[in-house]
Amino acid sequence: MNTLVPLHDQLVLGKRKLKAIFGSSPSRTLKAGELLGSAGAGEGIYRLRAGWACQFHDLPNGRRPILDVYLPADVIGLDGGVHVRRLEDVRTLTAAIVETISIENGLVELVADRPMALYITFLLSLRQRRSDCLLAAISSLDARGRLAMMLLDFYTRLRRRKLISGPNYNLPLSQVQIGNYLGLTVVHINRVLQSLRSEQIVDFEKHRVTILDLERLVFMARNGGKAISCAIGCEPALNEAAA
Amino acid sequence: MNTLVPLHDQLVLGKRKLKAIFGSSPSRTLKAGELLGSAGAGEGIYRLRAGWACQFHDLPNGRRPILDVYLPADVIGLDGGVHVRRLEDVRTLTAAIVETISIENGLVELVADRPMALYITFLLSLRQRRSDCLLAAISSLDARGRLAMMLLDFYTRLRRRKLISGPNYNLPLSQVQIGNYLGLTVVHINRVLQSLRSEQIVDFEKHRVTILDLERLVFMARNGGKAISCAIGCEPALNEAAA
DNA sequence: CGATTCCTTGAAGGTTGTCAACGTTGGTGG
DNA sequence: CCACCAACGTTGACAACCTTCAAGGAATCG
């Protein structure tokens, strides 16, 4: 544990460096629904200066589940920087400003710097962690639990970045897209959203989320929708390591 | 694309270096069901020289979904190498031999070498890709599709590493664990497995998988269980970029 | 041999999907 | 300004997939 502080310092340094590189990179303004990798053939590395984006995964099935949702300040495309093939595509959900590192071997150069290499592995593990949480939620929570998880996730991420301060935020996903993200159908999403509103837990209207009862929302995101009479240890705690 | 070959060379070099480091690291022999990170307090980086392992995610719910399954030669714990907190734990599924890089800041040192840093990001993106596929399967395939996906995934991974050559392999997961991996219950896994056997598609008995009809299995892993009368483009193709 | 875990089977019920229709919204062009 | 269109939201009825509960049998291990 004695080497933990220098590690942290290196991460901070790497973060700063990467930010500087993105800052001096060309930035584009995109409208809602545009592909991030539209221009060139090769994959790039992106950073959302503003706006939301999301990552699809095309199935031969015809379905297009959403694998991840990116918020302002997120870095996109670090995975896949080494791969050749591409099953996914990333699209903006809103109008957005994107900073791009377009060099084909961008990752090769970034990784040459040790703090930045560390920070990149850190970012990759963050994305992995998001996938893990979503996966856990989808495979073991019912619809209400998943919805609660999603709404809380966006809420805490926005809050941590100081993009919001109150109990409400803008969620630029249609109900169809929410369904594709959570592995449910529109119809069901709609019904669950209504029941959540009628129970004064969350309100989602006109792409505007208002959290009415944070405690119950947290509880549902952990335990699923059906009320479980829990004896011990159900005190909701919202602490997340903000490394 | 002109810089692609050197990138590939660097990856090969990084792979070799990492393998060498693991080779000269202490290796332990574990029995089935043991924690990988049992000994020390800090997290380590592991490599399975032999045996299977899997990663759980504890939910306050009481459930323990399985997030990933590791096969021989897989590297474990690169994600989380930077994190402090830990929601997951990794356990062996069989008796196993594990090579360990136990240094608290192992990742910091590894990343200092550029080819190795690149290879590590490559490994991280591989794991991410597995999560993405599993997520896509769980959120948009029915039980038969998910099971087909899983069985095919292990099959191709083992085949690519030349650990098997025929149409059958050893799968050290109980039906309960398969359920936790695919987001289904034991009972249903059991029924679906039986129907797959009765239809001469796959046989799973005594932890032994035998693929009887690869073509139909691939089709189900892509389109789900219910027979869809597809007009065009349903020729199953098993090509995967073996980067 | 006992004990535990695992597999198996049945019946009943619930959460979710499908289908279909209609209302709403927002943008576009005449 | 209005008509049109497309995407999105909403609602109901019904079916299907899957879960839950319960119990008995098989396998594994000390």
**The pLDDT value given to residue A81:** 63
pLDDT of residue A85: 58
Q: pLDDT per residue over B14-72, tens digit each?
A: 999 999 999 888 888 988 888 887 554 456 889 999 999 999 998 888 899 999 999 99
d(CA A183, CA A141): 11
B83 and A CB contact within 8 Å: yes
Asked if A79's CB is within 8 angstroms of B243's CB, the reply is no
Look at residue B105 in the predicted model and tell me its pLDDT: 59
What pLDDT is stored for residue A105 in this prediction?
A: 59
In this structure, which amino acid lies at residue B147? Answer: L
CA distances from B9 to B13, B16, B22, B112 (A): 6, 11, 20, 18
Is the shortest CB-to-strand distance from A185 to strand C under 7 Å?
yes
Residue A44's identity, in one-letter code, is G
- Cα separation, B217 vs B238, whole angstroms: 11
CA distance B142 to B145: 5
For the cut 80, the answer to whether the pLDDT of residue B233 exceeds it is no
Q: Is the pLDDT of residue A73 over 50?
A: yes
Across A154-166, average pLDDT: 95
Residue of A55, A128, A218 to mutate for B, most B C-beta atoms under 10 A: A128
Q: Tell me, what's the pLDDT at B87?
A: 65
Chain B residues 194 to 213 with C-beta below 7 Å from nucleic strand D = 206
Closest residue to A128, CB basis, from B60, B84, B128: B128
User: According to the model, what pLDDT value does residue A126 have?
Assistant: 92
Question: Mean pLDDT of all residues in chain B?
Answer: 85
User: Are residues A207 and B48 in contact, defined by beta-carbon separation less than 8 angstroms?
Assistant: no
Task: Report the percent of chain A where pLDDT is more than 70.
Answer: 84
Q: Could you tell me the pLDDT band of residue A41, with boundaries at 50, 70 and 90?
A: very low
Average of per-residue pLDDT across A138-145: 96
More confident residue, B4 or A166: A166
Residue range B163-181: average pLDDT? 95
Residue B28 dihedral angles phi and psi, to the nearest 5°: -115, 160
pLDDT of A240 strictly over 60:
no
Spell out which residues of B between 178 and 197 contact strand C, using CB within 7 Å: 186-187, 190-191, 193-194
Q: Which residues of A touch B77 (CB under 8 A)?
A: none
pLDDT tens track for A175-212: 999 999 999 999 999 999 999 999 999 999 999 999 99
Residue-level pLDDT at B185:
96
- pLDDT of residue A143 exceeding 60: yes
Instruction: Inform me whether the C-beta atom of residue A60 falls under 8 Å from chain B C-beta atoms.
Output: yes
Chain C bases closer than 7 angstroms to a protein Cβ: 5-11, 15-20, 26
Residue A58 CB coordination number (10 Å)? 14
Higher pLDDT, A47 or B38: A47
Task: Inspect the interface and report whether the beta carbons of A121 and B121 lie closer than 8 Å.
Answer: yes
**Residue B194 Cα distances to B134, B143, B190, angstroms:** 22, 12, 6
Least confident of A72-81, A170-179, A210-219: A72-81
Nearest nucleotide (C1') to the CA of residue B204? C7
Q: Is the pLDDT of residue A227 over 80?
A: no
pLDDT-based confidence at B240, cuts 50/70/90? very low
**Closest CA relative to residue A181, chosen from A125, A218, A130, A128:** A130
| Non-local CB neighbours of A171 within 8 Å, separated by 6+ positions | A151, A154, A204, A207, A208, A209
* Diameter of chain B measured on Cα atoms: 57
Instruction: Record the tokens describing residue B129, joined without a space.
Output: 């890709």
Average pLDDT, chain A: 85
Confidence of residue A84 (pLDDT cuts 50, 70, 90): low
Chain A residues 194-213 within an 8 A CB cutoff of chain B: none
Note the pLDDT of residue A232: 35
Hey, is the C-beta of A65 within 8 angstroms of any chain B C-beta? yes
DSSP structure string for B48-104: EEES-EEEEE--TTS---EEEEE-TT-EE-STTSS-S---EEEEESSSEEEEEE--T
Q: What is the pTM of this model?
A: 0.88
Whether the Cβ atoms of residue A225 and residue A184 lie closer than 8 Å to each other: no
B75 touches chain A (CB under 8 A): no
- Taking residues B187-215, report their average pLDDT: 95
Burial of A224 (0-12, 13-18, 19+ CB in 10 A): buried
CA of A215 to C1' of D23 (A): 39
Q: What is the 3-state secondary structure (H, E, C) of A46-77?
A: EEEEECCEEEEECCCCCCCCEEEEECCCCEEC
The percentage of residues in chain A with a pLDDT greater than 90, rounded to a whole number, is 60
Tell me what pLDDT residue B238 has: 34
How many other CB atoms are there within 10 angstroms of residue A196's CB atom?
A: 23
**What's the confidence (pLDDT) of residue A241?**
35
Is the confidence at residue B154, as pLDDT, over 50?
Answer: yes
Is the pLDDT at B85 greater than 70, yes or no?
A: no
Q: Is the CB of B71 under 7 A from strand C?
A: no
* pLDDT reported for residue B243: 32
Contact B120 A118 (CB under 8 A): no
CA distance A44 to chain B (A): 13
B 118-177 residues with CB < 8 A to A: 118, 120-122, 124-125, 127-129, 131-136, 138-141
Q: For the residues A139-161, what does the mean pLDDT come to?
A: 96
Query: Higher confidence at residue A105 or residue A220?
Result: A220
